[in-house]
């Protein structure tokens, strides 16, 4: 029979859902929100951690608390974790528009089209880069989770451009380390609303999951360090075309930082873009393209650079702006 608990988040029924854990909160997490502490201690997403708290599956020193309550180091955290999700399989399905621009014994470099994920994930049923490569006969490294084998970095489903996938185990190890240590140069092109001031600059603002909107991210005080450099290449009446270099690689980083500057990527309705402007330019997704990727080749150490031109929908949007300027 479900247990009844009381605390700062009220009274409600709690159904046992999985594995119960009780741990002392380390001093290094002192002062963080409860959902952030749970996410970091148990390897959950911020959204999943918040859902556990809201459902009454977490307590601090025996008391149920709210997701935004601050937690002190040294207290006992009792959490009932959900069962692990069913494994996601890689389906070898052809991906129209997926272009292989380089292939050797260690790596395969592709230009990813819009609507394609890097790898399978729960809840996503669309095409993937890994599935497309498998359908084309490419064998990638077996390191990593089964659904992410060979994947050393990712692009959003709605973002196009350059991705590198490891084919050898050595390449996987070397490239994962290079991305972790910020030894990879990642340059994007972004069309943003308005005119950033200054026209060139750096955004240094921490990012984590949005505290209220599932699936989105935001600048938050206790987020992960995130640094974005940008330069204006061309200015139009209603928008600016930027060259953006990522120093870090957080999920949605450019989209979040540009939105925080009140210059969201054109077409990025999830982060506050104007739907009227997007419609006028014929955009159904954010104007964001991974244009260039440079790194030390894992085979021989030479510095290599791969580029991808703007896809037709993004190029046409810029052409419309030029005609109207």
pLDDT digits (tens, 9 = 90+) for 66-117: 999 999 999 999 999 877 666 678 889 999 999 999 999 999 999 999 999 9
- Write out pLDDT tens, residues 33-58: 999 899 888 888 888 898 999 999 99
Domains within the chain, CATH numbers bracketed: 3-81 (3.10.290.10), 85-181 (3.30.2350.10), 184-325 (3.30.2350.10)
Over the Cα atoms of the chain, what is R_g? Answer: 22
- Write out pLDDT tens, residues 82-93: 776 666 788 899
pLDDT band for position 223 (50/70/90)? very high
- Write out pLDDT tens, residues 253-309: 999 999 999 999 999 999 999 999 999 999 999 999 999 999 999 999 999 999 999
**Is 80 exceeded by the pLDDT of residue 200?**
yes
How high is the pLDDT of residue 211?
A: 86
User: Considering only 8-12, 155-159, 200-204, 321-325, which range has the smallest mean pLDDT?
Assistant: 8-12
Count CA atoms closer than 13 A to 195's CA, side-chain side: 7
The DSSP bridge pattern shows strands 12-14 and 3-5 to be antiparallel
How high is the pLDDT of residue 21?
A: 87
DSSP label at 117?
B
**Is 70 exceeded by the pLDDT of residue 193?**
yes
The DSSP bridge pattern shows strands 207-209 and 239-246 to be unpaired
More confident residue, 21 or 316: 316
**Is 50 exceeded by the pLDDT of residue 11?**
no
pLDDT band for position 6 (50/70/90)? very low
pLDDT, mean of residues 119-141: 92
Name residue, tokens 């993937």.
128
pLDDT band for position 124 (50/70/90)? confident
More confident residue, 214 or 115: 115
How high is the pLDDT of residue 12?
A: 36
pTM over 0.75: yes
**Is 70 exceeded by the pLDDT of residue 13?**
no
The pLDDT mean for the chain works out to: 91
Catalytic annotation, pick one of 106, 156, 268, 310:
156
| Residue-wise DSSP of 242-260 | EEEEESS--TTHHHHHHHH
**Is 60 exceeded by the pLDDT of residue 16?**
no
- Write out pLDDT tens, residues 140-190: 999 888 878 999 999 999 999 999 999 999 999 999 999 999 999 999 999
Burial code (b: 16+ CB inside 10 Å, e: under 16) for 96-133 equals: eebeeeeeeebbbbbbbbbebbbbbbeeeeebbbbbbb
Other CB atoms within 10 A of residue 139 CB? 12
Please say whether the beta carbons of 98 and 161 come within 8 A.
Answer: no
Other CB atoms within 10 A of residue 289 CB? 26
Give yes or no: 156 in active site. Answer: yes
- Write out pLDDT tens, residues 304-316: 999 999 999 999 9
């Amino acid at each position: 029979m479900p247990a009844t608990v009381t605390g700062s988040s009220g009274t409600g029924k709690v159904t046992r859902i999985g594995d119960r854990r009780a741990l002392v909160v380390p001093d290094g997490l002192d002062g963080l929100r409860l959902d952030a502490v749970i996410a970091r201690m148990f390897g959950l997403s911020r959204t999943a951690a918040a859902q556990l708290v809201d459902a009454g599956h977490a307590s601090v020193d025996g008391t149920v608390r709210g997701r935004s309550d601050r937690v002190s180091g040294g207290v006992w955290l009792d959490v009932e974790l959900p069962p692990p999700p069913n494994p996601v399989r890689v389906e070898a399905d052809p991906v129209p528009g997926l272009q292989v621009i380089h292939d050797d014994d260690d790596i395969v470099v592709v230009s990813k089209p819009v609507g394609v994920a890097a790898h399978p994930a729960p809840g996503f049923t669309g095409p993937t880069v890994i599935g497309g490569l498998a359908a084309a006969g490419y064998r990638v490294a077996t390191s990593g989770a089964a659904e992410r084998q060979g994947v050393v970095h990712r692009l959003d489903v709605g973002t196009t451009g350059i991705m590198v996938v490891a084919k050898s185990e050595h390449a996987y190890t070397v490239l994962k380390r290079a991305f972790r240590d910020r030894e990879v140069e990642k340059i994007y092109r972004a069309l943003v609303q308005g005119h950033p001031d200054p026209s060139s600059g750096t955004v240094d603002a921490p990012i984590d999951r949005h505290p209220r909107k599932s699936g989105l991210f935001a600048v938050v005080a206790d987020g992960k360090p995130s640094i974005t450099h940008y330069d204006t290449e061309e200015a139009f009446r209603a928008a600016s075309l930027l060259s953006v270099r990522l120093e870090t690689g957080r999920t949605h980083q450019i989209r979040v930082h540009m939105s925080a500057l009140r210059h969201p990527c054109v077409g990025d309705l999830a982060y506050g873009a104007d739907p009227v402007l997007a419609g006028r330019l014929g955009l159904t997704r954010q104007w964001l393209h991974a244009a260039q990727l440079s790194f030390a080749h894992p085979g021989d150490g030479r510095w290599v650079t791969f580029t991808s031109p703007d896809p037709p929908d993004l190029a046409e949007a810029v052409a419309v702006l030029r005609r109207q300027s």
